Amino acid sequence: MAFLKVENIKLEGLAACVPQNIERTKDYAHISKEEQKIFTFGTGIEERRVAPKHICTSDMCYAAAKQLFKDTNTRPEEIDVLLFVSQSPDYFLPATSIILQERLGCSKQTMAFDINLGCSGYVYGLSVLSNLMNMPHFRKGLLLCGDKSSFSPSYTDKSTYPLFGDAGTATIISKDEKASPMFFNLQSDGKGWESIIIRGGGTRFPYSAETTKKKQVAPGIERADCNLELDGMEVFNFSLREVKPNVLKLLEFADVDINNVDYFVMHQANKLMNESVRKKMKIPIEKVPYSIHKFGNTSSASIPMTMVTGIKDELSSKKNKVLLSGFGVGYSWGTALLDIENLVISELIEIE
């Protein structure tokens, strides 16, 4: 049972970056006006940010980290651990975190590595980084989290293309003996490995002319093996089945009453899905911020993106008990419960 309790660590600062370029659901010409309307009604997505060719996840995380260093008066050399969580690295190898270590001006003493996770990535990343930070000599850690999800869907696949937005985020955590403990409940179920998948381009099915050949899979769904594939119904079923018990078990482990949680920040998968989960747990709507309408599903960046664009003022002014829940590709899912106080949050950064 992956229940974790981490002491002496606090969230110090948070920044998020998106590309300037906007794509709107109403301009997605592959589906009819009527389908566009139903899509927005169900998913909540009106528009999302799509990065041009020259902007990668690392570029967005870099811009977020730069701004955050400035806003928290952090020198890059102070970073002991740099963790990059993404499923859209710059290269197969080397790890993108190491490229970013040098680019950001962090010292050679920095421990840098990548974690390959999507929707659950922010919660997993936070748990790994905060645990490492409890090493005696560590002071500050940098969590870079995000995806350029737009690199993989096929334009002619209505089940994936209009869902995903690009974003990169940076979070600084630091040692603080007065910090309240953070709690985590982390889970995995490889039975769902095919529900969200890019089949071609890895070592199982290396990139070739074959993997780029488009095939008609269903009405409105034409894609190749190198494109993202998503079984919406299975993922929906998984989320309704697993998120609530995961959250309730964490609250029990932490001995916290659900009514004492100020904000529930959920991965921004799909409005209908999140609203169903919210209603199942009887959480009032004002405690559940959203960013999906303006930014789509931003993968591992969705939780920090929602904090930056939805509850910035609340998180930067007073003490809040916040629950973060990420769930999806893998399947992998997890929840974090933490007290956030005087968090430095940068204004949303846009790059072109």
Partner 1 sequence: MIDENEFVRLLENEFEDVEEGSLKPDSSYREIPNFSSMYALIIIAFIDNEFDVLLTGEDLRSTETIADLYAIIQKKLNK
By CB under 8 A, tell whether 236 contacts partner 1: yes
Query: Closest approach of Cβ 239 to partner 1, in Å?
Result: 10
Rounded to a whole number of angstroms, the minimum distance from the CB of residue 13 to partner 1 is: 37
> Applying CB under 8 A, which of residues 14, 18, 39, 112 lies at the interface with partner 1?
39
From CA 60, how far away is CA 305, in angstroms rounded? Answer: 12
Judged by CB under 8 A, does residue 233 bind partner 1?
Answer: yes
Q: Decide if residue 43 touches partner 1 (CB under 8 A).
A: yes
273 binds partner 1, rule: CB under 8 A: yes
Q: Is residue 268 within the footprint of partner 1 (CB under 8 A)?
A: no
CB of 84 or CB of 238, closer to partner 1: 238
Closest CA to 85 of 347, 334, 317: 334
- Name the CA radius of gyration of the chain, rounded: 19
* Smaller CB separation from partner 1, 38 or 135: 38
Least CB distance from residue 42 to partner 1, whole Å? 4
Site string for partner 1, 124-163 (x = CB under 8 A): -----------------------------------x----
Residue 53: CB partners within 8 Å, gap ≥ 6? Answer: none
At closest approach, how far in Å is the CB of 119 from partner 1?
Answer: 17
Cβ proximity to partner 1, 169 vs 239, nearer residue: 239
38 binds partner 1 (CB under 8 A): yes
Interface stretch with partner 1, choices 204-212, 237-245, 250-258, 284-292 (CB under 8 A): 237-245
Which residues of the chain form contacts with partner 1 (CB under 8 A)? Answer: 34-35, 38-39, 41-43, 159, 231-234, 236-237, 240-241, 270, 272-273, 275-276, 279-280
